[in-house]
Amino acid sequence: MRLPKLAGLPAALLASLLATPGHAAPPSGQTAQSAPATEQREPGLYMTFQTDKGNIACKLFEKEAPITVGKMVGLAIGKISYMDPRTRQQNRNKFFDGLTFHRVIPNFMIQGGDPLGTGTGSPGGPGFPYQNETSPGLTFNMPGRLAMANAGANTNASQFFITEAPYPSLNGGYTIWGQCQNQDVVKAIARVQRDSQDKPITPVHIQHVVVERVGPAPPNAPEAMSAPADSGKPAAKP
C-alpha cells in the first residue's frame, strides 16, 4: 500500500499503523456518559462511541460519504448481516459494542473496529470490502477526523481511526466520514500505556455505539434502512 510521508513516522511504521492484511488504517476509570442532548446539536446524523474513557461524539458526513456511513451505521445498529471473523458465522449483532481500540499513537490517532483486536479482522461476506469515497472539501486539515482505515483503495470494511492532530499527508487516501468532538477523550485513549505494536496494555473498550438523528431524516436514511448483503451501496428505503 502506498502511504503518505508523515513527519516523524517512517513509512514502515505508518504502514503498520494504518494498513492491515486484507483491510486497513491509519484505562479504565471514567464511566461512559450518556450521549449529548440532541437539542444542542445541528441537524444531521450522529454516532457516539461510549468508551471506558468517556464519550466521543461524531457528526457523520452522510452526503459526502453515503456508502461508508450506510455500512458503518448499519453495522453499529445491527441492520447489516456479516460474517464474524471470530466464529466464521453469519451475524447481525451490533458490531462495535465491546470491541477495543487496538492501536493508539499520541499526537496521531486512535484506531478501532477490529473484532480480533489485532488489526487483521473485519466483517466478511458479500458487500465487504467496499469502495473509498473522497470529497475535495474534506481533508485532514483538523483534529477529530473520523476516517476509514484501509490496505489500499477500495478495501474498507469496519476498521476506523480518529485523528488527534491535522495530518494533510493523509489526504486522498482514506475516506473521511465524520468529525468528532471530545478531543480530551481521544487524547486520553491515545496516551494509555501501550506495547511495541502500539496496542494498549490495558484494553480500552467501545462499550456501546449510539446512533442518533437530529432533525428530519432524509430519504434512504442510513439508520432506517436495511443494507443488502450483496451491495456496496446503501439500499433504498423499504
pTM of the model: 0.81
The pLDDT value recorded for residue 225 is 59
Q: pLDDT, tens digit, for every residue of 104-156? A: 999 999 999 999 999 999 999 999 999 999 998 999 999 999 999 999 999 99
Give the separation between CA 123 and CA 90, rounded to whole angstroms.
9
pLDDT > 70: percent of the chain: 78
Q: Is the pLDDT of residue 27 over 70?
A: no
C-alpha cell at 49: 462511541
**What domains are defined for the chain?**
16-32+42-215 (2.40.100.10)
Integer angstrom CA distances of residue 143 from 56, 64, 87, 125, 133: 13, 18, 36, 33, 19
The per-residue b/e assignment along 88-104, b for 16 or more CB within 10 angstroms, e otherwise, is eeebeeebbeebbbbbb
At residue 38, does pLDDT exceed 90? no
Sorted by sequence, the CB contacts under 8 Å of residue 135 that are 6+ apart come out as 61, 64, 65, 176
Q: Decide: 202 and 145 in contact? Cβ < 8 Å.
A: no
pLDDT at 120: 94
* Single-letter amino acid, residue 166: P
For 153-207, the pLDDT digits (tens) are: 999 999 999 999 999 999 999 999 999 999 999 999 999 999 999 999 999 999 9
Amino acid 41: pLDDT: 83
pLDDT at 40: 77
